[in-house]
Structure 1
Amino acid sequence: MSFRIRAAVDDDLQHLYEMAKLTGGGFTNLPPDRRALTAKLERSHAAFARTDGPVQDELFVLILENIETKEVRGTCQIFTQVGQSYPFYSYRIGQLTQHSRELNRTFRADMLTLATDLEGASEVGGLFLHPGERAGGLGLLLARSRYLFIKMHRARFADRILAELRGVIDEAGGSPFWDGLAGRFFGMNFQDADQFNAINGHQFIADLMPKHPIYTAMLTETARAAIGLPHPSGRAAMRMLENEGFAFENYVDIFDGGPTMTARTDQVRSIADARDSNVVGIGGDDGKDALVATGNLADFRAAFGKVREIEGGVVLADDCAHALAIREADRVTHVARI
């Protein structure tokens, strides 16, 4: 077991920055900007340090670490309650039906309406896996570790959860959706707008975005075709979300038109199926493949490992116990690896 998930620390800044430069744009939660990444780490430290209280606008940053080399090879984020510091905008896809009796014709028009319906939800985002590690299920480890963290700290999260998937980006790094809609009102290209949003927040959207519904028929063909489609690199992430119980409910990102997936927090598969157990033994490899987590807040750790359930608790394989620094009588949260 060579990899584990842990809380991000200040020494991870350079690793995060190097990964951010590999994203290829359109990755708002991981901007290639040291100041913005430092601010994220500071927010994350504050969130890990708060031990109780109600749901607040917080951010937890997690890291995928190679246990043997100590290299950081991936990251993911959890936002506890979006839309508190800045409005959380989405486009909601709707339809307007009109009928003319004289012409005996019915016309149905798809429309995009600026909405803040998802304010107050928690969000899983910022998942990035180094291109050299995209094998062996490490993306799944990153993604599902967030749900175990939520399970173990349930009072810190909302009853609804969302995930925004990056939309279609062309070979030049631009967004057909942005160019066909918002770009006309902002006088800036997609890369500049996306970077500004990542560093400064959404308020400029409220200031300049048209408030009236937009008829999609008035957009360019390329912009219409991008609505609700994930970036090709995000299709696997979309399938993982669907496997967890997330669904596309006609909300799309205001920048690139990518789909926003939503679910009820307690119905997310990895949260609903996870179990808490005492470790009653360590050794052997005859258990079932599982995702295992332990530790509270900044001490949170997660990894894949073999788990054998017996009366009174679970037995962990040696490598899993080593990766997570677990001893007998420790408590773990575990869910089957799927």
Structure 2
Amino acid sequence: MSFRIRAAVDSDLQPLYEMAKLTGGGFTNLPPDRRALRAKLERSHAAFSRTAPGEDGVVSDELFVLVLENCATGEVRGTCQLFTHVGQSWPFYSYRIGTLTQHSRELSRTFRADMLSLATDLEGSSEVGGLFLHPGERAGGLGLLLARSRYLFIKAHRARFADRILAELRGIIDEAGGSPFWDGLAGRFFGMNFQDADQFNAINGHQFIADLMPKHPIYTAMLSESARAAIGLPHPSGRAAMRMLENEGFAFENYVDIFDGGPTMTARTDKVRSIADARTAQVVTIADTPPASDTTTEALVATGTLADFRCAFGDIRPVADGIALSRGCAAALDVSEGASVLHVARL
């Protein structure tokens, strides 16, 4: 069975909505709200159709929505998103975890207090997010295809993205659908439970939290034990995503989401493994299966730009002046001999 990544289109609204209902809450980039999803698609269409930078050569905070499509049935079974420059429309807030050390000579004691400080340090970064794979497809490496296709998209459109890239992972949500971090911190200031705040956040963004939260540092010792324990931890369903990010060169540098306390991972864009290792080649030969040899490689292969971007798994083998490409991959990408593709080893 063959799958490919492609640009989202209007007809993808219903499958996106159906997947959004399966996320279980706290997944702000894929809200179970048709109006919000339609707005995302409209924003994505505008980004895909914009072929030149904006005024003064500056690209605004664009959103690209990609989907995972079953080539045989046309069904959409996953999605992911890219944001080119966060924080241009409104401040991009995070909590930065820091430590204040104080010493009392009289008591001969040193006290170290962990604190959460509102920060906009990550403004201007690019962001990869919104990754969701239908539970019925969580086999065969399709999550890896979704995640890493974003880096090949960045490689193909490098000028549109910043020099730093981030990924926010969903934080801990309990069995009742609540957030210990929200209940221990933000919820005390808003008189709103996590489910209501989550819905409002998904549709309207979390600027309302930044507007109303106290701007002075929060001592974590003043929070409940459950809230403290959730700081910087991903939701159990996001642990595999965190490992994939770490394999790409992302690291946790003490920034957490102001909404649910989940970790924010960061990297230098050009150091991301899939971006740094991706290579351009011409398809010289298309074969049912490239002859097995020490040089045959399972790879992610991508072609096209903007709305024509596509990415799929395939087998490649170096040949004179280019590569041999497996026929199934060529069909998924709709490429023929002579086409130019980006490829990176699947690993």
TM-score, normalised to structure 2, is: 0.96
Partners of 2:48 and 2:75 lie apart in 1 by: 22
Partners of 1:297 and 1:332 lie apart in 2 by: 14
Match of 1:257 in 2: 261
Partners of 1:267 and 1:203 lie apart in 2 by: 30
Contact 2:128 2:165 in 1 (8 A): yes
Match of 2:103 in 1: 99
Contact 2:209 2:259 in 1 (8 A): no
Contact 1:226 1:258 in 2 (8 A): yes
Cα deviation, residue 197, structure 1: 1.6
Identity, % of aligned pairs?
83
Match of 1:304 in 2: 313
In structure 1, the gaps of 5 or more residues are none
Contact 1:55 1:158 in 2 (8 A): no
Partners of 2:333 and 2:124 lie apart in 1 by: 33
Deviation string 1:210-244 (CA, Å, 9 cap, x unpaired) is 10000000000000000000011100000000000
Match of 1:213 in 2: 217
Match of 1:15 in 2: 15
- Where 1:150 maps in the other structure, the secondary structure is helix
Report whether the alignment pairs 1:5 with 2:5. Answer: yes
Correspondences of 1:78-227 after superposition (within 5 Å): 78-227=82-231
Q: Report the residue type matching 1:263 in the other structure.
A: A
Cα deviation, residue 299, structure 1: 0.4
Q: Which runs of 4+ in 1 moved over 4 A?
A: none
- Where 2:12 maps in the other structure, the secondary structure is helix
Contact 1:123 1:161 in 2 (8 A): yes
Contact 2:206 2:259 in 1 (8 A): no
Contact 2:255 2:264 in 1 (8 A): yes
Contact 1:98 1:106 in 2 (8 A): yes
Instruction: Return the match for 1:62 from 63, 66, 70.
Output: 66
Cα deviation, residue 125, structure 1: 0.2
Match of 1:270 in 2: 274
Report whether the alignment pairs 1:313 with 2:322. Answer: yes
Contact 1:190 1:255 in 2 (8 A): no
Partners of 2:33 and 2:196 lie apart in 1 by: 13
Match of 1:42 in 2: 42
Partners of 1:158 and 1:197 lie apart in 2 by: 25
Partners of 1:268 and 1:236 lie apart in 2 by: 17
In structure 2, the gaps of 5 or more residues are none
How many pairs are equivalent? 338
Partners of 1:46 and 1:281 lie apart in 2 by: 36
Instruction: Return the match for 1:326 from 316, 323, 335.
Output: 335
Partners of 2:265 and 2:135 lie apart in 1 by: 24
Partners of 1:311 and 1:266 lie apart in 2 by: 28
Contact 1:278 1:332 in 2 (8 A): yes
- Where 2:216 maps in the other structure, the secondary structure is coil
Cα deviation, residue 17, structure 1: 0.3
Q: Report the residue type matching 1:248 in the other structure.
A: F
Partners of 1:103 and 1:309 lie apart in 2 by: 70
Greater Cα shift, 201-210 or 121-130: 201-210
Contact 1:141 1:303 in 2 (8 A): yes
Contact 1:113 1:213 in 2 (8 A): yes
Contact 2:179 2:260 in 1 (8 A): yes
